[in-house]
């Protein structure tokens, strides 16, 4: 579980690139990708696409990066944790604070620190899901062959596995 949390936390802040080789001409590939990506609206990441031609093949390079909202959330969370720790220290050290107040400030800080990894996992899972949806849409548009051409006449989807 800890390694999965670490992987998802790293996914939140990293940028990476993935390439897809197209089975179609550049013009047709661009149209197919444009149609496929109209339904994909990511919130936890930003992606950019760039086409490149190499002898005999057309490639789509997709760069995945964290969204500004994710970076803002992480930076704001750091500031909030710093303020919570400072408030806890102040509550524990100041002589005039009543004991229930000291306890509540320390408890809120502890709960926030313990819950934050789960929030990061949720954000990371959302980004991973969005990247997966985007990759699947691109593969379906330009990498994988259409199922209709693979099926013979009169053959249904269930008949193919036999």
d(CA 85, CA 151): 63
**Any residues with CB less than 8 A from the CB of 160 and at least 6 apart, and which?**
150, 151
One digit per residue, pLDDT tens: the chain, 162 residues?
Answer: 678 888 888 888 899 999 999 999 899 999 999 999 888 888 888 999 999 999 988 999 999 999 999 999 999 999 999 999 999 999 989 888 788 989 999 999 999 999 999 999 999 999 999 999 999 999 999 988 765 455 555 555 555 444
**Burial profile 9-22: b = 16 or more Cβ within 10 angstroms, e = fewer:** bebbeeeeeeebeb
- The edge-to-edge listing of strands for the beta sheet with 57-66 is 16-22, 57-66, 45-54
**Any residues with CB less than 8 A from the CB of 124 and at least 6 apart, and which?**
7, 8, 9, 11, 12
pTM exceeding 0.85: no
Compute the chain's Rg from CA coordinates.
24
Segments making up each domain of the chain, as ranges: 2-145
What DSSP designation does 63 have? E
Retrieve residue 23's tokens. Answer: 């089975």
């Amino acid at each position: 579980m800890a390694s999965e949390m670490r992987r998802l936390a790293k996914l939140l802040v990293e940028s990476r690139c993935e390439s897809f080789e197209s089975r179609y001409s550049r013009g047709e590939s661009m149209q197919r990708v444009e149609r496929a990506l109209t339904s994909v609206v990511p919130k936890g990441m930003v992606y950019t696409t760039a086409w490149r031609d190499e002898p005999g093949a057309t490639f789509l390079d997709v760069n995945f990066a964290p969204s500004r909202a994710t970076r803002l959330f992480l930076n704001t969370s750091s500031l909030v944790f710093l303020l919570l720790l400072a408030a806890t220290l102040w509550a524990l050290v100041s002589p005039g604070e009543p004991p229930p107040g000291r306890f509540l400030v320390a408890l809120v800080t502890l709960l926030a620190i313990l819950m934050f990894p789960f929030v990061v996992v949720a954000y990371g899972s959302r980004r991973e899901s969005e990247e997966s949806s985007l990759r699947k849409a691109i593969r379906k548009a330009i990498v994988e062959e259409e199922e209709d051409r693979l099926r013979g006449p009169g053959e249904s989807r269930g008949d193919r596995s036999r």
